[in-house]
């Protein structure tokens, strides 16, 4: 597992990442509103209305890109997207500088630097602390240079360095806050997960004992209860009868079938049978190549959560899970749910898809007739 | 790996993260303000104030006082230091306003950058406690105290400078107010969104646990399959093909041998019992291979009488080295001997004592199955078993010069190779390699890690 340096809240706590998306939207709207308001506020300083409009447009686009990129359907948020957002927002800062060049009396009412900072702050749940700090530092350097250029026309008598610092702090303070948030959430989450996994390992012996006893009820074990008495009877008999030979053949065939079915089954078959038995929702698995066995633990957890949720409260009347043959290094898993008595909202399923994305399962939700279909793709 | 955070921890964890975020921003604001003041001390220009260097130095000292209080609060977050920081911050806001807004200043109103930076820091002070409500309360107090101090400073100088329409010197600091609004939105939103996601979060956490249990359950099913395959299936086939008539003594003996191992115990329980033994620290683990070897010894103590001299020497060395427990591979060799196979054992079988008993059990069972495969399919009466101890891996090779087979063409119903050999070894983190050609013979190489414990 990667350390805290490169990890994001979206990766270690996918639901936390999903929950933060509206805040990015609020940040985008707030930043654009601020750009419009402050442009109006210092309208007397504007030399170039076109540049002023461009500045607002660039900030708005930066906010839009940030918002769209953070949507669960587009997870995970990549470094390239962060770079694009910062670049667009810095473009807005430069355009604003150009729009008031030579007439900017106060840097305090400039929105460019603060736009960069606030967008970084809004993206904190989606970026690593290092990425945020690097983006903040680079952004601060750029706006600091713009600040030096604004020192001349400013009405306050102060060294040029003050103007550079003032612009830089508008970017760097929010960026530092974002980085601190990201580092704190990731380290706390990973620490908790390490503790949980350690406790789980400690309890594994007891868990295995309990499961081993319950496995006695499994199909192979039940069959062994017929086989072993038969063999004991043969062992003590003097002769083998025709009936014995026929019975041995029957048992051998049944045992062979059970053994083969057992070998070819996976954890997903266990999940399907337990879900069917406990929740009364038929779950069918088509996985001839036992591809489910190759999924990582966290990928299994994401699929298990979806299946259990679909079967819970009878949201689905029937569930089918089908694994397709891998093509071009990509495997596909299709989960089809026939709606049941409970509410089966696509928006809720989107949350599971977003969680799955965080663990390398790229999911898409679609409707086929009245059925809901979720297709996951992952690298084979 | 466990996904996400459980709900009961998420609130506190995110609360701490937001507080640390506020601390960082506050620290940057105060340091930047101090750097700006220091630049004015050096440069000699300080926002149009008379005696610029002295004024800038005073500004620097005031900001340093607030920074010291803030640093103490960040280090020891408690109510006392929160109150101290609020009082110091209010005092600094008052003194800075007095200083910066004196006649001749370049600043037209109190809504300016030099007052904004310490005021924002005061809003983001992050007091004691991690709940959203307490955090919003401290932030609101920070904003209120700062704004009140600024207003008081302006009013004491010139009451006329306070114009509630915003036309006077006193104008509410927009940046400080914006910081309060942003913080309030984030804290409020966080609480609401966490509550709505709570049920699904719990579902995800439960799913992680459930997935783990499913994997263990499947693991035991495979163990059961391997054990049943080794013991029962071949006997059933033998009975079915024998037809009616007297029972061959060898078949009866084989059935008795295998039933003795599994009647009255359960294949899956065996392993769990060993782990339970470990837990109570008795240190007298008796793996299934031990019971199996005991059963084998009960009928014919390991004398290696049918082994070659090399194998007998090796087995003898093993017995001499260890007073307790069965000799490594004794059971597998005994089963093969019973089936009429001569086993040439080479290498250092005692190396098997270095690995975890559960892993050794799996390895010995896989070797036994390899030998049974030689008996059934190879059409030869001798086989070579070589044990190769390594630093990190222990390897056992089973080599015969028999019929051989096409490895790629093994039919899917050949359960023995898949489950009893490959399945067992892979469950222990090992690998199995098979080389075979029709008419040339077969070599099976079983490797397991020396370090770690078996599952």
Verify that B178 and B266 share a domain, yes or no.
no
- Between chains, do A173 and B268 touch, taking CB under 8 Å as contact? no
Verify that B260 and B196 share a domain, yes or no.
no
Verify that B256 and B157 share a domain, yes or no.
no
Verify that B158 and B304 share a domain, yes or no.
no
Counted across chains A and B, CB pairs separated by less than 8 A come out at 349
In this structure, are residues A186 and A8 in contact, taking their beta carbons and an 8 Å threshold?
Answer: yes
* Confidence at residue B307, expressed as pLDDT on a 0 to 100 scale: 33
Name, in order, each residue with C-beta under 8 angstroms of A106's C-beta and a sequence gap of 6 or more: A42, A154, A155, A156, B112, B113
In this structure, are residues A163 and A110 in contact, taking their beta carbons and an 8 Å threshold?
Answer: no
Question: Which tokens hold the place of B148?
Answer: 């009140």
Domain boundary among B205, B237, B269: B205
Domain boundary among B205, B221, B236: B205
* Confidence at residue B148, expressed as pLDDT on a 0 to 100 scale: 96
Verify that B339 and B200 share a domain, yes or no.
no
Residue B324 lies in a domain: yes
Helix (H, G, I), strand (E, B) or coil at B86: helix
Q: List the one residue out of B51, B137, B4 whose CA is nearest residue A12.
A: B4
Question: Across the interface, which of B48, B240, B273 has its CB nearest the CB of A245?
Answer: B240
Question: Which tokens hold the place of A340?
Answer: 């049941």
Confidence label for B453 from pLDDT (cuts 50, 70 and 90)? low
Segment B68-89, tens digit of pLDDT: 999 999 999 899 999 999 999 9
- Between chains, do A227 and B236 touch, taking CB under 8 Å as contact? yes
Closest B-chain CA to A107: B113
Q: List the one residue out of A299, A277, A309 whose CA is nearest residue A376.
A: A299
> Is residue B44 scored above 80 in pLDDT?
yes
> Is residue A162 scored above 50 in pLDDT?
yes
* Count of domains forming chain B: 2
Question: Across the interface, which of B189, B243, B272 has its CB nearest the CB of A23?
Answer: B189
What is the sign, positive or negative, of the torsion defined by CA atoms of A25, A29, A31, A32? positive
Residue B300 lies in a domain: yes
Residue B282 lies in a domain: yes
Residue B233 lies in a domain: no
What CATH number did the domain enclosing B388 receive? 3.30.565.10
Give the minimum alpha-carbon distance from B352 to chain A in angstroms, rounded to a whole number: 23
Pairing of strands B441-449, B431-437: antiparallel
**Gap between the Cα atoms of B208 and B135, Å rounded:** 33
- Between chains, do A16 and B4 touch, taking CB under 8 Å as contact? yes
What string of DSSP letters covers A330-348?
Answer: EEEEEEEEEE-SS---HHH
Name, in order, each residue with C-beta under 8 angstroms of B95's C-beta and a sequence gap of 6 or more: B62, B153
In this structure, are residues A332 and A356 in contact, taking their beta carbons and an 8 Å threshold?
Answer: no
Residue B221 lies in a domain: no
The complex scores an ipTM of 0.78
What is the sign, positive or negative, of the torsion defined by CA atoms of B214, B216, B221, B226? positive
Verify that B153 and B253 share a domain, yes or no.
no
The single residue listed with the structure tokens 């360095």 is A161
- CA angle at B98 for the pair B96 and B102, rounded to the nearest 5°: 115
Give the minimum alpha-carbon distance from B353 to chain A in angstroms, rounded to a whole number: 22
Give the minimum alpha-carbon distance from B188 to chain A in angstroms, rounded to a whole number: 11
Verify that B276 and B388 share a domain, yes or no.
yes
Question: Across the interface, which of A108, A172, A259 has its CB nearest the CB of B112?
Answer: A108
> Is residue B29 scored above 80 in pLDDT?
yes
What helix, strand, coil percent values describe chain A, rounded to 5?
70, 10, 20
Q: How far is Cα of residue A137 from the mean position of the Cα atoms in its chain?
A: 27
Q: How far is Cα of residue A211 from the mean position of the Cα atoms in its chain?
A: 31
Residue B1 lies in a domain: no
In this structure, are residues B89 and B127 in contact, taking their beta carbons and an 8 Å threshold?
Answer: no
Give the minimum alpha-carbon distance from B404 to chain A in angstroms, rounded to a whole number: 23
* Confidence at residue B174, expressed as pLDDT on a 0 to 100 scale: 93
Interface of A with B in 210-229 (CB under 8 A): 211-216, 218, 220-221, 223-224, 227-228
Query: A267-379, which class in CATH?
Result: alpha beta
Verify that B311 and B395 share a domain, yes or no.
yes
Domain boundary among B156, B173, B205: B205
- Between chains, do A211 and B117 touch, taking CB under 8 Å as contact? no
The residue ranking higher by pLDDT, B3 or A177, is A177
Verify that B184 and B259 share a domain, yes or no.
no
Average pLDDT, chain A: 86
Instruction: Give me the residue spans of the domains in chain A.
Output: 9-199, 208-264, 267-379
> Which residues span the domain enclosing B313?
246-449
> Is residue B220 scored above 80 in pLDDT?
no
């Amino acid at each position: 597992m990667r350390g805290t340096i490169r990890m994001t809240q979206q990766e270690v706590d996918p639901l936390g990442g999903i929950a933060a998306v509206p805040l990015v939207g609020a940040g985008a709207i707030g930043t654009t509103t601020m750009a419009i308001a402050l442009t109006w506020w210092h309208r007397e300083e504007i030399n170039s209305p076109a540049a002023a409009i461009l500045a607002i447009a660039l900030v708005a686009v930066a906010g839009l890109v940030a918002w769209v990129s953070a949507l669960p359907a587009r997870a995970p948020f990549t470094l390239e997207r962060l770079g694009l957002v910062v670049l667009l927002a810095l473009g807005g800062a430069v355009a604003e500088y150009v729009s008031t060049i030579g007439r900017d009396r106060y840097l305090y009412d400039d929105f460019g630097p603060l736009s960069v900072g606030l967008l970084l702050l809004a993206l904190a749940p989606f970026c690593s602390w290092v990425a945020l700090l690097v983006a903040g530092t680079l952004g601060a350097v750029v706006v600091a240079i713009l600040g030096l250029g604004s020192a001349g026309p400013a009405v306050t008598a102060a060294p040029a360095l003050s103007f550079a610092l003032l612009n830089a702090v508008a970017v760097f303070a929010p960026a530092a806050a974002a980085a601190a948030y990201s580092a704190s959430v990731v380290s706390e989450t990973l620490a908790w997960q390490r503790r949980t996994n350690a406790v789980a390992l400690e309890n594994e012996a007891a868990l295995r004992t309990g499961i081993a006893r319950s496995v006695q009820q499994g199909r192979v074990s039940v069959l062994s209860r017929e086989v072993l008495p038969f063999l004991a009877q043969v062992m003590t008999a003097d002769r083998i009868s025709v009936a014995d030979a026929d019975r041995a053949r029957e048992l051998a065939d049944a045992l062979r079938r059970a053994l083969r079915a057992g070998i070819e089954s996976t954890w997903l078959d266990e999940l399907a049978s337990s879900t069917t038995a406990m929740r009364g929702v038929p779950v069918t698995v088509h996985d001839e190549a036992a591809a489910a066995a190759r999924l990582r633990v966290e990928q299994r957890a994401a699929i298990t959560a979806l299946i259990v949720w679909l079967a819970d409260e009878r949201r689905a009347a029937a569930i089918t899970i089908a694994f397709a043959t891998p093509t071009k290094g990509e495997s596909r898993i299709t989960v089809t749910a026939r709606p049941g008595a409970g509410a089966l909202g696509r928006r809720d399923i989107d949350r599971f898809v977003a969680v799955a994305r965080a663990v390398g399962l790229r999911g898409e939700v679609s409707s086929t007739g009245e059925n809901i279909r979720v297709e996951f793709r992952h690298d084979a | 790996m466990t996904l996400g955070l459980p709900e009961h921890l998420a609130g506190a964890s995110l609360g701490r993260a937001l507080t640390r975020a506020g601390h960082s921003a506050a620290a940057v604001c105060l340091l930047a303000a101090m750097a700006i003041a220091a630049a004015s001390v050096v440069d000699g220009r300080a926002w149009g104030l008379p005696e610029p260097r002295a004024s800038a130095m005073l500004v620097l000292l005031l900001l340093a006082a607030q920074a010291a209080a803030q640093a103490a609060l960040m280090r020891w977050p408690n109510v006392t230091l929160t109150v101290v920081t609020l009082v110091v911050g209010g005092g600094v806001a008052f003194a800075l306003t007095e200083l910066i807004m004196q006649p001749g200043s370049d600043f037209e109103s109190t809504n300016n950058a030099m007052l904004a930076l310490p005021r924002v820091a005061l809003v983001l002070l992050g007091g004691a406690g991690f709940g959203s409500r307490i955090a919003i309360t401290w932030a609101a107090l920070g904003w209120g105290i700062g704004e009140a101090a600024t207003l008081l400073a302006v009013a004491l100088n010139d009451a006329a400078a306070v114009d509630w329409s915003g036309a006077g010197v006193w104008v509410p600091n927009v940046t400080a107010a914006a910081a309060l609004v942003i913080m309030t939105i984030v804290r409020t939103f966080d609480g609401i969104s966490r509550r709505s996601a709570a049920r699904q979060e719990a579902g995800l956490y439960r799913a992680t646990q459930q997935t783990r249990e499913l994997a263990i359950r499947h693991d035991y099913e495979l163990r059961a399959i391997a054990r049943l395959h080794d013991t029962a299936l071949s006997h059933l086939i033998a009975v079915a093909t024998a037809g009616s008539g007297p029972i061959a003594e060898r078949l009866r003996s084989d059935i008795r041998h295998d039933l003795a191992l599994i009647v009255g115990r359960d294949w899956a329980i065996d392993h769990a019992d060993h782990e339970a033994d470990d837990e109570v620290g008795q240190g007298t683990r008796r793996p299934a291979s031990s019971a199996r070897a005991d059963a084998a010894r009960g009928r014919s103590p390991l004398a290696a009488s049918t082994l070659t001299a090399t194998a007998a020497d090796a087995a003898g060395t093993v017995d001499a080295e260890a007073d307790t427990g069965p000799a490594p591979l004794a059971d597998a060799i005994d089963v093969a001997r019973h089936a009429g196979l001569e086993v040439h054992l080479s290498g250092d079988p005692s190396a098997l004592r270095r690995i975890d008993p559960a892993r050794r059990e799996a390895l010995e069972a896989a070797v036994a199955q390899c030998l049974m495969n030689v008996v059934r399919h190879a059409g030869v009466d001798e086989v070579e078993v070589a044990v190769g101890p390594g630093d990190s891996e222990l390897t056992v090779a089973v080599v015969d010069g028999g019929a051989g087979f096409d490895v790629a063409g093994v039919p899917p119903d050949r359960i023995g190779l898949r489950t009893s050999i490959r399945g067992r070894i892979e469950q222990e983190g090992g690998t199995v390699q098979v080389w075979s050609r029709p008419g040339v013979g077969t070599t099976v190489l079983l490797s397991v890690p020396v370090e770690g414990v078996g599952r």
